[in-house]
Amino acid sequence: MRSALPRRTVFSVSAGSPRPDSSVRQRSGVRNGNPFVATPKLRRLPAMRVLPAIRLSLTTDATTSPERQFESIRKFATYKDHELVPITETDYDLDVSGAVSPFDRPGLGRWLKPDRLGEWDAICAAKLDRISRSLFDFTAFVHWLEAHGKALIILDPELDLTTKEGRVMANVLMTFAEYEREVIGSRVKDAYDRLIRAGKYTGGMVLFGYRPVKLAKGWGVEIDPEYAPVVQEMAERYLRYESLGSIARWLTSSGVPTPKDVIRMRSSNPKTRAKVSGAPWTVATVRASSSRTPSSARSQTPRTSRYGTSRVSSSTGPSP
């Protein structure tokens, strides 16, 4: 007596996964007294050159997310017999918001230029929001990939963007990701405003000429005895109608490190200290260092520095 067995449900397929061959029908029945289900043959997509897309909104010394993202993509490429396009840390998009279009990202953006399209076949991201947190940018990016014959692979959640169902699901998830980004931005702004009103350190990069200091509760900033006189001298040169380019050349020739290098030099993390670049000063760096005095800076003005002597005795801080 032959027993009819229910057909198995075909599993969903993510981009880059094997696809069921529609030409082979699924059959079930009894063979030699034993029930069986004939599974369809699966065909594998041809091996592709997979480009990892790594993004992180905020990096710290303890950050491991970029490494974990890359490892997930590497394991996927190995399992699917794809070729992983070699990239370096300069191709990572670190400290890049999800609101930034993929085309404007410093790491991924350079791979989207016409002269580099022949170096990869698909872009792979560990999570959907690593591509974007903007529904508009994500949709435009997917359409651009389709127009150029490229694929997009998302590992978590598994999405098949070659189907209309997969694209709908991706758009729904992207809508929530965009909403989450806006909520997080609103919370960060509220916290920032509270710190400003309280006269406390707001985090991020400290203005050149100041340094963070631990307070009884939270953090504040104080005048840096080593670099504050340098900022005073910058202000005096500017008041004497010296150009920003001339000030930048003076700072570089005097061996003054840039604000980013100062932070790296004072970091407790050896990897961060190893990133000291010794980059020269530019007009943009000088302009960014001429911001107003933080409200939490203490009223103390150092007079001397190994880079020069300050003749300004005001207690309002080193910035012009």
pLDDT in tens, 246-275: 999 999 999 999 988 888 888 888 888 888
> 274-300 pLDDT, tens per residue?
888 888 999 888 888 765 544 444 444
Q: Is CATH 3.40.50.1390 what the domain over 49-182 is classified as, yes or no?
A: yes
| The pair of three-digit structure tokens given for residue 56, joined into one six-digit string | 């992180």
More confident residue, 179 or 199: 179
Q: CB-based burial of residue 320 (10 Å sphere; 0-12 exposed, 13-18 middle, 19+ buried)? A: middle
Tell me phi and psi for residue 170, to 5 degrees: -65, -40
**DSSP letter at 64?**
-
> Of 106, 314, 317, whose CA–CA distance to 227 is shortest?
317
Q: What DSSP assignment string belongs to 167-203?
A: HHHHHHHHHHHHHHHHHHHHHHHHHHHHHHHHT---S
> Of 20, 15, 19, whose CA–CA distance to 7 is shortest?
20
pLDDT the model gives residue 18:
42
More confident residue, 313 or 266: 266
Residue type, 42: L
What percent of the chain shows pLDDT beyond 70? 72
More confident residue, 115 or 320: 115
> 169-191 pLDDT, tens per residue?
777 877 777 777 777 778 878 87
Report the pLDDT averaged over residues 123-145.
86
User: Which residues, in sequence order, are bridge partners of residue 124?
Assistant: 52, 153
Q: What does the alpha-carbon distance between residue 207 and residue 319 come to, in Å, rounded to a whole number?
A: 9
- Predicted TM-score (pTM) of the model is 0.48
All CATH 3.40.50.1390 domain ranges of the chain, comma separated, are 49-182
> 13-53 pLDDT, tens per residue?
344 444 444 444 445 555 556 554 544 444 455 788 999 99
CB-based contacts of 15, cutoff 8 Å, min separation 6: 122, 151, 152, 153, 154, 159, 160, 161, 162, 166
Q: 318 falls in which pLDDT band (50, 70, 90)?
A: very low
Q: 162 falls in which pLDDT band (50, 70, 90)?
A: low
Report the pLDDT averaged over residues 288-316.
46
Q: CB-based burial of residue 52 (10 Å sphere; 0-12 exposed, 13-18 middle, 19+ buried)? A: buried
More confident residue, 104 or 189: 104
User: Which residues, in sequence order, are bridge partners of residue 35?
Assistant: 30
Report the pLDDT averaged over residues 155-167.
72
Q: What does the alpha-carbon distance between residue 90 and residue 106 come to, in Å, rounded to a whole number?
A: 8
